[in-house]
Structure 1
Amino acid sequence: MTDRLLFLGTGDSMGVPRVYCTCGICEEARNAGTNRRYRSSVLLETAEGKLAVDCGPDWRQQMERLGQREMERLLITHAHFDHIGGLPEWADACRWLSKKGHVYAPHEVVETIRSQFPWLHRQLIFHALDPEGFEFAGWTIHPWKVCHGKNGFSYAYRFDKTGYSWVYCPDSIRLSEEEKKPLHGLNLLVLGTNFYLEEAEPLSRSVYDMTEALGLIGEVRPEHVIFTHMSHGVDINKSYPLPRHVQLARTGLSYPLNLADKDRIVK
Protein backbone atom coordinates (compact mmCIF):
# COMPACT_ATOMS: atom_id res chain seq x y z
CA MET A 1 0.00 0.00 0.00
CA THR A 2 1.26 3.46 -0.94
CA ASP A 3 1.21 5.92 1.96
CA ARG A 4 -1.24 8.69 1.15
CA LEU A 5 -2.30 12.06 2.51
CA LEU A 6 -6.07 12.58 2.62
CA PHE A 7 -7.47 16.10 3.03
CA LEU A 8 -10.38 15.97 5.48
CA GLY A 9 -10.78 19.74 5.63
CA THR A 10 -9.27 22.66 3.73
CA GLY A 11 -10.91 25.71 5.34
CA ASP A 12 -9.68 28.51 7.56
CA SER A 13 -10.75 29.11 11.16
CA MET A 14 -14.39 29.94 10.28
CA GLY A 15 -14.88 27.48 7.43
CA VAL A 16 -16.94 28.03 4.26
CA PRO A 17 -19.70 29.08 3.97
CA ARG A 18 -19.77 31.70 6.71
CA VAL A 19 -23.17 31.70 8.43
CA TYR A 20 -23.55 35.47 8.07
CA CYS A 21 -22.21 35.79 4.51
CA THR A 22 -24.01 35.91 1.15
CA CYS A 23 -20.95 36.46 -1.03
CA GLY A 24 -20.77 34.49 -4.27
CA ILE A 25 -18.35 31.93 -2.86
CA CYS A 26 -20.44 31.26 0.26
CA GLU A 27 -23.62 30.96 -1.84
CA GLU A 28 -21.88 28.53 -4.19
CA ALA A 29 -20.74 26.53 -1.16
CA ARG A 30 -24.34 26.31 0.06
CA ASN A 31 -25.71 25.21 -3.30
CA ALA A 32 -23.22 23.41 -5.55
CA GLY A 33 -20.94 22.72 -2.61
CA THR A 34 -17.64 22.91 -4.49
CA ASN A 35 -16.38 25.65 -2.18
CA ARG A 36 -17.73 24.07 1.01
CA ARG A 37 -14.74 23.75 3.31
CA TYR A 38 -14.45 22.09 6.70
CA ARG A 39 -11.78 23.31 9.10
CA SER A 40 -8.32 22.17 8.00
CA SER A 41 -7.26 18.63 8.83
CA VAL A 42 -5.44 15.81 7.06
CA LEU A 43 -5.11 12.06 7.52
CA LEU A 44 -1.87 10.16 6.90
CA GLU A 45 -2.88 6.69 5.70
CA THR A 46 -0.34 3.84 5.83
CA ALA A 47 -0.36 0.06 5.87
CA GLU A 48 0.52 0.27 9.57
CA GLY A 49 -2.33 2.56 10.55
CA LYS A 50 -3.57 6.14 10.30
CA LEU A 51 -2.48 9.40 11.88
CA ALA A 52 -4.75 12.45 11.77
CA VAL A 53 -3.40 15.97 12.00
CA ASP A 54 -5.68 18.41 13.86
CA CYS A 55 -9.23 17.86 15.09
CA GLY A 56 -11.41 20.92 14.61
CA PRO A 57 -15.12 21.51 15.27
CA ASP A 58 -16.03 19.80 11.96
CA TRP A 59 -14.51 16.49 13.10
CA ARG A 60 -17.86 14.70 13.33
CA GLN A 61 -18.88 15.68 9.79
CA GLN A 62 -15.45 14.69 8.49
CA MET A 63 -15.72 11.27 10.10
CA GLU A 64 -19.26 10.76 8.75
CA ARG A 65 -18.06 11.68 5.27
CA LEU A 66 -15.36 9.01 5.57
CA GLY A 67 -17.77 6.46 7.00
CA GLN A 68 -15.26 6.05 9.82
CA ARG A 69 -16.42 5.29 13.37
CA GLU A 70 -13.21 5.63 15.33
CA MET A 71 -9.85 7.35 15.37
CA GLU A 72 -6.76 6.11 17.18
CA ARG A 73 -4.01 8.73 16.79
CA LEU A 74 -3.90 12.50 16.42
CA LEU A 75 -1.12 15.03 15.92
CA ILE A 76 -1.94 18.65 16.83
CA THR A 77 -0.34 21.78 15.35
CA HIS A 78 -1.58 24.26 17.99
CA ALA A 79 -4.32 24.79 20.55
CA HIS A 80 -6.63 27.13 18.63
CA PHE A 81 -10.30 26.12 18.51
CA ASP A 82 -10.36 25.42 14.77
CA HIS A 83 -7.65 22.79 15.37
CA ILE A 84 -8.84 21.22 18.64
CA GLY A 85 -12.60 21.91 18.82
CA GLY A 86 -13.46 18.31 17.96
CA LEU A 87 -11.53 16.78 20.88
CA PRO A 88 -14.57 16.50 23.22
CA GLU A 89 -16.54 14.61 20.55
CA TRP A 90 -13.61 12.30 19.89
CA ALA A 91 -13.22 11.68 23.61
CA ASP A 92 -16.93 10.88 23.87
CA ALA A 93 -16.63 8.41 20.98
CA CYS A 94 -13.69 6.77 22.75
CA ARG A 95 -15.79 6.51 25.93
CA TRP A 96 -18.65 4.72 24.17
CA LEU A 97 -16.24 2.45 22.29
CA SER A 98 -14.30 1.68 25.50
CA LYS A 99 -11.07 2.77 23.82
CA LYS A 100 -8.32 5.29 24.45
CA GLY A 101 -7.19 7.81 21.86
CA HIS A 102 -3.59 8.96 21.57
CA VAL A 103 -2.79 12.68 21.16
CA TYR A 104 0.68 13.90 20.14
CA ALA A 105 1.76 17.54 20.45
CA PRO A 106 4.60 19.66 21.84
CA HIS A 107 4.54 20.09 25.62
CA GLU A 108 3.15 23.64 25.69
CA VAL A 109 0.32 22.67 23.33
CA VAL A 110 -0.55 19.68 25.51
CA GLU A 111 -0.63 21.86 28.62
CA THR A 112 -2.93 24.41 26.97
CA ILE A 113 -5.35 21.69 25.88
CA ARG A 114 -5.37 20.14 29.35
CA SER A 115 -6.20 23.51 30.90
CA GLN A 116 -9.03 24.12 28.44
CA PHE A 117 -10.49 20.59 28.60
CA PRO A 118 -9.41 19.15 31.98
CA TRP A 119 -11.59 16.04 31.60
CA LEU A 120 -10.16 14.75 28.32
CA HIS A 121 -7.42 12.71 30.03
CA ARG A 122 -10.09 10.17 31.01
CA GLN A 123 -10.35 9.01 27.38
CA LEU A 124 -7.36 10.55 25.60
CA ILE A 125 -3.72 9.77 26.36
CA PHE A 126 -1.49 12.81 25.76
CA HIS A 127 2.08 12.39 24.53
CA ALA A 128 4.24 15.52 24.86
CA LEU A 129 6.75 15.60 22.00
CA ASP A 130 10.36 16.60 22.42
CA PRO A 131 12.20 18.47 19.62
CA GLU A 132 13.46 15.18 18.22
CA GLY A 133 9.88 14.21 17.42
CA PHE A 134 8.73 10.62 17.09
CA GLU A 135 8.34 7.70 14.68
CA PHE A 136 5.16 6.45 13.05
CA ALA A 137 4.85 3.82 10.30
CA GLY A 138 8.42 4.44 9.16
CA TRP A 139 8.03 8.22 9.13
CA THR A 140 10.28 10.36 11.31
CA ILE A 141 8.15 13.33 12.38
CA HIS A 142 9.80 16.54 13.62
CA PRO A 143 7.88 19.52 15.08
CA TRP A 144 9.11 23.09 15.03
CA LYS A 145 7.57 26.38 16.14
CA VAL A 146 6.53 28.86 13.45
CA CYS A 147 5.24 32.44 13.51
CA HIS A 148 1.42 32.66 13.43
CA GLY A 149 1.38 36.46 13.19
CA LYS A 150 -1.05 38.25 15.49
CA ASN A 151 -2.23 34.85 16.78
CA GLY A 152 1.11 33.99 18.35
CA PHE A 153 2.64 30.71 17.27
CA SER A 154 1.82 27.36 15.74
CA TYR A 155 3.82 24.23 15.03
CA ALA A 156 4.64 22.77 11.65
CA TYR A 157 5.64 19.12 11.13
CA ARG A 158 8.22 17.63 8.80
CA PHE A 159 7.77 13.97 7.81
CA ASP A 160 10.78 12.04 6.48
CA LYS A 161 10.86 8.51 5.15
CA THR A 162 13.46 6.89 2.90
CA GLY A 163 13.41 8.86 -0.34
CA TYR A 164 10.55 11.22 0.53
CA SER A 165 10.05 14.35 2.68
CA TRP A 166 6.99 16.51 3.22
CA VAL A 167 5.77 19.25 5.56
CA TYR A 168 2.36 20.20 6.96
CA CYS A 169 2.25 23.90 7.91
CA PRO A 170 -1.34 25.23 7.95
CA ASP A 171 -0.93 28.37 10.10
CA SER A 172 2.11 30.56 9.53
CA ILE A 173 3.27 33.93 8.20
CA ARG A 174 6.49 35.94 8.04
CA LEU A 175 8.71 32.95 8.73
CA SER A 176 12.23 33.76 9.85
CA GLU A 177 15.26 32.25 8.15
CA GLU A 178 15.57 29.78 11.03
CA GLU A 179 11.90 28.79 10.72
CA LYS A 180 12.34 28.23 6.97
CA LYS A 181 15.20 25.75 7.31
CA PRO A 182 13.03 22.58 7.60
CA LEU A 183 11.20 23.63 4.41
CA HIS A 184 14.21 22.93 2.21
CA GLY A 185 14.58 19.67 0.31
CA LEU A 186 10.87 18.78 0.24
CA ASN A 187 8.94 16.64 -2.18
CA LEU A 188 5.70 18.14 -0.88
CA LEU A 189 4.80 21.28 1.07
CA VAL A 190 1.25 21.67 2.42
CA LEU A 191 0.90 25.34 3.32
CA GLY A 192 -1.95 27.44 4.69
CA THR A 193 -3.03 30.43 2.55
CA ASN A 194 -6.20 32.28 3.61
CA PHE A 195 -6.60 34.40 0.44
CA TYR A 196 -5.03 34.83 -2.97
CA LEU A 197 -4.24 38.42 -1.99
CA GLU A 198 -5.21 39.62 1.48
CA GLU A 199 -5.62 43.37 1.80
CA ALA A 200 -5.85 43.62 5.60
CA GLU A 201 -3.23 45.57 7.52
CA PRO A 202 -0.11 43.35 7.60
CA LEU A 203 0.33 43.25 11.38
CA SER A 204 -3.32 42.23 11.84
CA ARG A 205 -2.83 39.03 9.84
CA SER A 206 -1.90 35.51 10.87
CA VAL A 207 -1.58 33.35 7.72
CA TYR A 208 0.18 33.76 4.37
CA ASP A 209 -1.77 34.74 1.29
CA MET A 210 -0.93 32.97 -1.98
CA THR A 211 1.12 35.83 -3.40
CA GLU A 212 3.35 35.82 -0.32
CA ALA A 213 3.48 32.03 -0.30
CA LEU A 214 4.82 32.05 -3.86
CA GLY A 215 7.76 34.12 -2.62
CA LEU A 216 8.41 31.58 0.13
CA ILE A 217 8.14 28.72 -2.36
CA GLY A 218 10.67 30.44 -4.58
CA GLU A 219 13.11 30.43 -1.69
CA VAL A 220 12.70 26.87 -0.40
CA ARG A 221 11.86 25.25 -3.79
CA PRO A 222 9.65 22.26 -2.89
CA GLU A 223 8.87 19.81 -5.67
CA HIS A 224 5.09 20.13 -5.21
CA VAL A 225 2.86 22.46 -3.16
CA ILE A 226 -0.73 22.19 -1.96
CA PHE A 227 -2.44 25.26 -0.50
CA THR A 228 -4.97 24.65 2.28
CA HIS A 229 -6.61 26.60 5.18
CA MET A 230 -8.52 28.74 2.64
CA SER A 231 -11.19 31.32 3.52
CA HIS A 232 -14.29 32.41 1.63
CA GLY A 233 -11.95 34.73 -0.26
CA VAL A 234 -10.79 31.76 -2.36
CA ASP A 235 -12.92 30.32 -5.18
CA ILE A 236 -11.87 26.75 -5.94
CA ASN A 237 -13.51 27.09 -9.39
CA LYS A 238 -11.33 30.05 -10.35
CA SER A 239 -8.04 29.75 -12.15
CA TYR A 240 -5.41 31.64 -10.16
CA PRO A 241 -2.01 32.53 -11.65
CA LEU A 242 -0.08 29.75 -9.92
CA PRO A 243 2.87 27.67 -11.12
CA ARG A 244 2.15 24.17 -12.47
CA HIS A 245 3.55 22.54 -9.34
CA VAL A 246 1.15 24.44 -7.03
CA GLN A 247 -2.47 23.35 -6.52
CA LEU A 248 -5.41 24.16 -4.25
CA ALA A 249 -6.60 21.45 -1.87
CA ARG A 250 -10.12 20.08 -2.17
CA THR A 251 -12.00 18.08 0.44
CA GLY A 252 -11.23 14.43 -0.24
CA LEU A 253 -8.04 15.07 -2.19
CA SER A 254 -5.82 12.00 -1.80
CA TYR A 255 -2.14 12.57 -2.52
CA PRO A 256 0.40 9.70 -2.82
CA LEU A 257 3.49 10.15 -0.68
CA ASN A 258 6.07 8.57 -2.92
CA LEU A 259 7.89 9.53 -6.09
CA ALA A 260 6.60 6.67 -8.23
CA ASP A 261 2.93 7.63 -7.81
CA LYS A 262 3.24 11.41 -7.57
CA ASP A 263 1.36 12.00 -10.85
CA ARG A 264 -1.57 9.74 -9.94
CA ILE A 265 -3.56 12.08 -7.71
CA VAL A 266 -7.11 11.18 -6.72
CA LYS A 267 -9.39 14.23 -6.41
Structure 2
Amino acid sequence: MKITFLGTGTSQGIPVIASMHPVCLSKDKRDKRLRVSILVEWDNYTYVVDCGPDFRYQMLRANVRKIEGVLITHEHADHIAGLDDLRPFCFQLGAVPIYAQKRVLDNLAYRFQYIFNDTNKYPGAPKVESVLIKNEPFIIGNLKVVPIEVMHGELKIFGYRFNNVAYLTDVKTITTVEKEKLKNLEVLIINAIRHKPHHSHLNIEEALELIDELQPEKTYLTHISHHLGFHSEVEKTLPKNVFLAYDELVIEID
Protein backbone atom coordinates (compact mmCIF):
# COMPACT_ATOMS: atom_id res chain seq x y z
CA MET A 1 0.00 0.00 0.00
CA LYS A 2 1.17 3.50 -0.82
CA ILE A 3 0.01 6.65 0.97
CA THR A 4 0.62 10.07 -0.60
CA PHE A 5 0.04 13.14 1.52
CA LEU A 6 -1.82 15.44 -0.83
CA GLY A 7 -2.16 18.13 1.82
CA THR A 8 -1.12 18.46 5.46
CA GLY A 9 -2.39 21.91 6.44
CA THR A 10 -5.32 23.27 8.38
CA SER A 11 -8.44 24.90 6.94
CA GLN A 12 -6.49 28.03 5.90
CA GLY A 13 -3.45 26.21 4.53
CA ILE A 14 0.09 27.53 4.82
CA PRO A 15 0.95 30.22 3.92
CA VAL A 16 -2.17 31.89 5.30
CA ILE A 17 -3.50 34.67 3.08
CA ALA A 18 -1.93 38.04 4.01
CA SER A 19 -0.01 36.56 6.96
CA MET A 20 3.46 37.82 7.83
CA HIS A 21 4.05 34.98 10.30
CA PRO A 22 7.62 33.63 9.85
CA VAL A 23 6.39 30.12 8.96
CA CYS A 24 4.15 31.59 6.26
CA LEU A 25 7.23 33.29 4.80
CA SER A 26 9.37 30.15 4.96
CA LYS A 27 11.27 29.05 1.86
CA ASP A 28 11.22 25.40 2.99
CA LYS A 29 8.72 23.60 0.76
CA ARG A 30 7.78 21.40 3.73
CA ASP A 31 6.28 24.49 5.37
CA LYS A 32 3.89 25.04 2.45
CA ARG A 33 0.77 23.03 3.21
CA LEU A 34 -2.41 22.56 1.21
CA ARG A 35 -5.65 21.48 2.87
CA VAL A 36 -5.49 18.03 4.43
CA SER A 37 -6.04 14.93 2.28
CA ILE A 38 -4.37 11.63 1.40
CA LEU A 39 -4.22 9.36 -1.63
CA VAL A 40 -4.40 5.63 -0.87
CA GLU A 41 -3.14 3.16 -3.50
CA TRP A 42 -2.86 -0.62 -3.48
CA ASP A 43 -2.98 -3.32 -6.15
CA ASN A 44 -4.70 -1.41 -8.99
CA TYR A 45 -6.97 0.70 -6.77
CA THR A 46 -6.77 4.42 -6.01
CA TYR A 47 -8.93 6.22 -3.46
CA VAL A 48 -8.83 9.69 -1.93
CA VAL A 49 -9.70 10.61 1.64
CA ASP A 50 -11.42 14.02 1.57
CA CYS A 51 -11.79 16.40 -1.33
CA GLY A 52 -11.00 19.92 -0.17
CA PRO A 53 -10.62 23.23 -2.02
CA ASP A 54 -7.12 22.33 -3.23
CA PHE A 55 -8.27 19.04 -4.82
CA ARG A 56 -7.71 20.05 -8.45
CA TYR A 57 -4.14 21.15 -7.88
CA GLN A 58 -3.42 18.17 -5.64
CA MET A 59 -4.48 15.78 -8.40
CA LEU A 60 -2.33 17.59 -10.96
CA ARG A 61 0.67 17.82 -8.66
CA ALA A 62 0.54 14.12 -7.79
CA ASN A 63 -0.16 13.15 -11.41
CA VAL A 64 -3.24 11.18 -10.42
CA ARG A 65 -4.78 9.59 -13.52
CA LYS A 66 -7.74 7.79 -11.97
CA ILE A 67 -9.61 7.29 -8.74
CA GLU A 68 -12.22 4.73 -7.75
CA GLY A 69 -13.86 6.80 -5.04
CA VAL A 70 -13.66 9.38 -2.24
CA LEU A 71 -13.96 8.72 1.49
CA ILE A 72 -15.17 11.74 3.44
CA THR A 73 -14.25 12.26 7.08
CA HIS A 74 -16.75 15.09 7.69
CA GLU A 75 -18.53 18.00 6.08
CA HIS A 76 -16.33 21.01 6.87
CA ALA A 77 -15.32 23.03 3.82
CA ASP A 78 -11.63 22.16 3.93
CA HIS A 79 -12.64 18.51 3.45
CA ILE A 80 -15.37 18.75 0.81
CA ALA A 81 -15.13 22.03 -1.15
CA GLY A 82 -13.39 20.45 -4.15
CA LEU A 83 -16.20 18.06 -5.10
CA ASP A 84 -16.88 19.85 -8.40
CA ASP A 85 -13.36 19.00 -9.56
CA LEU A 86 -14.29 15.31 -9.63
CA ARG A 87 -15.63 15.95 -13.13
CA PRO A 88 -12.60 14.66 -15.09
CA PHE A 89 -12.75 11.39 -13.13
CA CYS A 90 -16.49 11.15 -13.81
CA PHE A 91 -15.74 11.27 -17.54
CA GLN A 92 -13.61 8.14 -17.04
CA LEU A 93 -15.51 6.27 -14.35
CA GLY A 94 -19.08 7.47 -14.64
CA ALA A 95 -20.49 8.12 -11.17
CA VAL A 96 -17.72 8.50 -8.59
CA PRO A 97 -18.65 6.83 -5.27
CA ILE A 98 -18.68 9.17 -2.27
CA TYR A 99 -18.45 7.27 1.03
CA ALA A 100 -19.76 9.08 4.10
CA GLN A 101 -22.10 8.80 7.06
CA LYS A 102 -25.71 9.92 6.68
CA ARG A 103 -25.33 13.37 8.24
CA VAL A 104 -22.47 14.14 5.88
CA LEU A 105 -24.27 12.85 2.78
CA ASP A 106 -27.31 14.96 3.70
CA ASN A 107 -25.08 18.00 4.12
CA LEU A 108 -23.40 17.43 0.75
CA ALA A 109 -26.79 17.07 -0.96
CA TYR A 110 -27.86 20.42 0.54
CA ARG A 111 -24.68 22.33 -0.24
CA PHE A 112 -24.13 20.80 -3.69
CA GLN A 113 -27.72 20.53 -4.89
CA TYR A 114 -26.68 20.89 -8.53
CA ILE A 115 -24.61 17.70 -8.16
CA PHE A 116 -26.87 15.57 -5.97
CA ASN A 117 -30.35 16.63 -7.17
CA ASP A 118 -31.22 14.04 -9.81
CA THR A 119 -34.54 15.69 -10.70
CA ASN A 120 -33.00 19.03 -11.67
CA LYS A 121 -29.37 18.18 -12.31
CA TYR A 122 -27.19 20.85 -13.84
CA PRO A 123 -25.81 19.67 -17.21
CA GLY A 124 -22.10 18.96 -16.89
CA ALA A 125 -22.21 18.57 -13.11
CA PRO A 126 -20.12 15.74 -11.67
CA LYS A 127 -21.81 12.37 -11.47
CA VAL A 128 -21.52 10.90 -8.00
CA GLU A 129 -22.89 7.89 -6.18
CA SER A 130 -23.71 8.42 -2.51
CA VAL A 131 -22.56 5.40 -0.50
CA LEU A 132 -23.87 5.37 3.06
CA ILE A 133 -21.42 4.03 5.61
CA LYS A 134 -21.95 3.42 9.29
CA ASN A 135 -19.55 2.76 12.11
CA GLU A 136 -18.84 -0.73 10.86
CA PRO A 137 -16.39 -2.20 8.34
CA PHE A 138 -17.05 -1.86 4.61
CA ILE A 139 -15.26 -2.86 1.41
CA ILE A 140 -13.61 -0.70 -1.23
CA GLY A 141 -12.01 -2.59 -4.10
CA ASN A 142 -10.67 -5.70 -2.42
CA LEU A 143 -9.89 -3.99 0.90
CA LYS A 144 -11.76 -3.89 4.19
CA VAL A 145 -11.96 -0.41 5.69
CA VAL A 146 -12.71 0.10 9.37
CA PRO A 147 -14.26 3.47 10.31
CA ILE A 148 -12.95 5.03 13.51
CA GLU A 149 -15.47 7.33 15.19
CA VAL A 150 -13.80 10.32 16.83
CA MET A 151 -14.98 13.64 18.20
CA HIS A 152 -14.06 16.85 16.39
CA GLY A 153 -15.14 19.12 19.21
CA GLU A 154 -18.86 18.24 19.50
CA LEU A 155 -19.05 16.71 16.00
CA LYS A 156 -18.84 12.95 15.41
CA ILE A 157 -16.60 12.29 12.43
CA PHE A 158 -14.85 9.30 10.89
CA GLY A 159 -11.25 8.33 10.55
CA TYR A 160 -10.38 5.19 8.60
CA ARG A 161 -8.19 2.14 9.08
CA PHE A 162 -6.77 0.44 5.99
CA ASN A 163 -5.08 -2.82 7.00
CA ASN A 164 -2.41 -1.67 9.49
CA VAL A 165 -2.62 2.02 8.58
CA ALA A 166 -5.02 4.44 10.27
CA TYR A 167 -5.83 7.96 9.12
CA LEU A 168 -7.33 10.28 11.75
CA THR A 169 -7.73 13.98 11.16
CA ASP A 170 -9.56 16.71 13.09
CA VAL A 171 -9.58 14.59 16.24
CA LYS A 172 -10.05 16.09 19.68
CA THR A 173 -11.16 13.04 21.67
CA ILE A 174 -11.66 9.34 21.07
CA THR A 175 -13.42 6.77 23.23
CA THR A 176 -11.85 3.66 24.71
CA VAL A 177 -14.04 1.52 22.44
CA GLU A 178 -12.75 3.24 19.30
CA LYS A 179 -9.16 3.07 20.54
CA GLU A 180 -9.48 -0.72 20.46
CA LYS A 181 -9.67 -0.45 16.66
CA LEU A 182 -6.26 1.23 16.66
CA LYS A 183 -4.21 -1.58 18.14
CA ASN A 184 -1.22 -3.10 16.35
CA LEU A 185 -0.83 -0.31 13.82
CA GLU A 186 2.18 -0.12 11.57
CA VAL A 187 1.41 3.51 10.72
CA LEU A 188 -0.81 6.05 12.45
CA ILE A 189 -1.56 9.37 10.75
CA ILE A 190 -3.08 11.89 13.15
CA ASN A 191 -3.62 15.63 13.54
CA ALA A 192 -1.50 17.94 15.69
CA ILE A 193 -2.55 21.51 15.01
CA ARG A 194 -0.29 23.65 17.24
CA HIS A 195 1.24 23.94 20.72
CA LYS A 196 -1.61 25.77 22.48
CA PRO A 197 -4.77 23.80 23.31
CA HIS A 198 -7.54 23.94 20.71
CA HIS A 199 -11.27 23.41 21.29
CA SER A 200 -11.73 20.85 18.50
CA HIS A 201 -8.27 19.55 17.55
CA LEU A 202 -5.46 17.76 19.32
CA ASN A 203 -2.51 19.98 20.01
CA ILE A 204 0.92 18.40 19.72
CA GLU A 205 1.16 17.49 23.41
CA GLU A 206 -2.21 15.72 23.30
CA ALA A 207 -1.31 13.97 20.06
CA LEU A 208 1.96 12.66 21.53
CA GLU A 209 0.12 11.40 24.61
CA LEU A 210 -2.33 9.49 22.43
CA ILE A 211 0.51 8.10 20.32
CA ASP A 212 2.25 6.90 23.48
CA GLU A 213 -0.96 5.16 24.52
CA LEU A 214 -1.65 3.50 21.17
CA GLN A 215 1.98 2.53 20.46
CA PRO A 216 1.96 2.40 16.65
CA GLU A 217 5.27 1.49 15.00
CA LYS A 218 5.41 4.89 13.27
CA THR A 219 3.30 8.04 13.38
CA TYR A 220 2.99 10.93 10.96
CA LEU A 221 1.47 14.20 12.17
CA THR A 222 -0.81 16.15 9.85
CA HIS A 223 -3.43 18.96 9.84
CA ILE A 224 -0.67 21.33 10.94
CA SER A 225 -1.00 25.09 11.33
CA HIS A 226 1.74 27.68 11.02
CA HIS A 227 1.56 28.12 14.80
CA LEU A 228 3.23 24.74 15.29
CA GLY A 229 6.46 26.20 13.94
CA PHE A 230 9.01 25.46 11.24
CA HIS A 231 9.03 21.89 10.00
CA SER A 232 12.79 21.54 10.37
CA GLU A 233 12.72 22.73 13.98
CA VAL A 234 9.63 20.88 15.20
CA GLU A 235 10.72 17.53 13.83
CA LYS A 236 13.91 17.64 15.91
CA THR A 237 11.81 17.70 19.09
CA LEU A 238 9.72 14.61 18.27
CA PRO A 239 10.21 11.02 19.49
CA LYS A 240 12.24 8.84 17.15
CA ASN A 241 9.18 7.08 15.71
CA VAL A 242 7.10 10.26 15.18
CA PHE A 243 7.44 12.47 12.11
CA LEU A 244 5.86 15.60 10.69
CA ALA A 245 4.13 14.78 7.44
CA TYR A 246 4.48 17.26 4.58
CA ASP A 247 2.83 17.73 1.22
CA GLU A 248 3.93 15.19 -1.42
CA LEU A 249 5.45 12.83 1.17
CA VAL A 250 4.97 9.22 0.04
CA ILE A 251 5.11 6.27 2.42
CA GLU A 252 5.00 2.59 1.47
CA ILE A 253 3.53 -0.05 3.78
CA ASP A 254 3.85 -3.80 3.19
For the Cα contact (< 8 Å) 1:51–1:73, is it kept in 2? Answer: yes
**Are the structure 2 counterparts of residues 95 and 135 from structure 1 closer, same or farther at C-alpha, using a change threshold of 3 Å?**
closer
Q: Report if aligned partners of 1:52, 1:75 keep a CA contact under 8 Å in 2.
A: yes
Which residue of structure 1 aligns with residue 12 of structure 2? Answer: 14
Structure 1: runs of 5+ lacking an equivalent: 259-267
Deviations 1:26-74 (A, max 9, x none): 011xx44331100010011112210110110000111121233553311
**Percent identity (aligned):** 31
Secondary structure of the equivalent of 2:98? strand
Is the CA contact (8 Å cut-off) linking 2:135 and 2:149 kept in structure 1? no
Do 1:72 and 1:100's aligned partners in 2 also have CA atoms closer than 8 Å?
no
| 1:137 positional shift | 4.2
Task: Name the CA distance, whole Å, in 1 between partners of 2:29 and 2:94.
Answer: 35
* 3-state DSSP of counterpart to 1:39: coil
Please show how residues 213-232 of structure 1 align to structure 2 within 5 Å: 213-232=207-226
Contact persistence 1:190–1:225 (CA under 8 A): yes
Q: 1:240 to 1:211 in 2, by over 3 A?
A: farther
Tell me the distance in 2 between the aligned counterparts of 1:109 and 1:142: 17
Check the 8 A contact 2:137/2:147 in 1, yes or no.
yes
Offset, 1:24: 0.5
The residue aligned with 1:100 is 95
- What corresponds to 1:78 in structure 2? 74
How many residues of Structure 1 are paired with residues of Structure 2 in the alignment?
Answer: 243
CA displacement, residues 120-179 of structure 1 (integer Å, 9 cap, x when unaligned) = 2361111111333322344210113211115x232111122xxxx121101111323223
Report the Cα distance in structure 2 between the residues aligned to 1:174 and 1:34, rounded to whole angstroms: 27
Matched residues in 1 for 2:222 and 2:89: separation? 29
**CA drift at 1:10:** 0.5
Determine the C-alpha separation between the residues in 2 that align with 1:230 and 1:206: 13
Q: Give the CA deviation at 1:22.
A: 0.4
Aligned mates of 2:129, 2:160 — CA distance in 1: 20
Match of 1:233, SS?
helix
SS at match of 1:93: helix
Deviation at 1:13, TM superposition (A): 1.1
5+ unaligned residues in a row in structure 2: which ranges?
A: 117-125
CA distance in 1, matches of 2:213, 2:92: 47
Determine whether 1:242 maps to 2:242.
no
The 3-state SS of whatever aligns with 1:74 is strand
Given that 1:106 and 1:143 are in contact with CA atoms closer than 8 Å, whether structure 2 keeps it comes out as no
Amino acid at match of 1:123: K
Task: State the partner residue of 2:138.
Answer: 134
In the alignment, the residues of structure 1 paired with residue 140 and residue 68 of structure 2 have an alpha-carbon distance, to the nearest angstrom, of 13
Counterpart-to-counterpart distance in 2, 1:226 and 1:100? 32
The residue aligned with 1:156 is 159
Q: Choose the corresponding residue for 2:151, options 129, 147, 154.
A: 147
Contact 2:45 2:67 in 1 (8 A): no
- For 2:156, give the aligned amino acid: F
CA distance in 1, matches of 2:56, 2:140: 24
CA RMSD of aligned residues (A): 1.9
2:109 to 93, 100, 114: 114
User: Within 5 Å, which residues of 2 pair with 1:161-240?
Assistant: 165-195=164-194, 197-199=195-197, 205-234=199-228, 235-238=230-233, 239-240=235-236
Matched with 1:263 is none
Whole-Å separation in 1 of the counterparts to 2:2 and 2:66: 19
**Could you tell me how far apart the structure 2 residues matched to 1:97 and 1:5 are?**
23
